[in-house]
Amino acid sequence: MITTSLYGQSPDGNTVSSKSGEIEVIQNQQPASLRGQITDEDKNELQGASVIIAGTEKGVNTNEIGQYFIDKLPAGKLSVQASIMGYKTQIVDIIIV
C-alpha cells in the first residue's frame, strides 16, 4: 500500500492537505497547484511514482524523495491517482471551487 499526501495552495495563499481517500475543498479564483509526497506504509519515500490527474494530460513522476508538483489545475472535482510497480494504486478525490 502507498500513502498519498496532497498539499494544495489556492491563489490567496491558503494551504490545504489531504490523506488517502479524503476530499478537500480548495477555494480558487485561478488555476491551483498541487504538491505532495508519496510514501509506503513505513513512511519510506517512493521515487519514480506516477501521479496523474485522471481524465487529463496532467501528470508527473515523483523525485528522489517522493515529492511531486502539478500546477495549472482547473476548478471542479479531480481524481488524483498515485501508482508505482509493486503497490496498489491509490486514488484521492479533491474538489477545487
Q: Which domains does the chain have, with CATH numbers?
A: 2-96 (2.60.40.1120)
Q: Is 63 helix (H, G, I), strand (E, B) or coil?
A: coil
Q: For 29-42, what is each residue's pLDDT tens digit?
A: 567 888 888 988 88
C-alpha–C-alpha distance, residues 69 and 52, integer Å: 10
- Is 15:26 a contact under the CB 8 Å cutoff? no
Strand partners, 59: 52
Q: Which range is most confident: 12-16, 24-28, 54-58?
A: 54-58
pLDDT at 48 over 90: yes
pTM of the model: 0.73
The set of residues, in sequence order, having a beta carbon less than 8 Å from that of 91 and lying 6+ positions away, is: 54, 79, 80, 81, 82
Identify which has the larger pLDDT, 17 or 91.
91
The set of residues, in sequence order, having a beta carbon less than 8 Å from that of 48 and lying 6+ positions away, is: 61, 62, 84
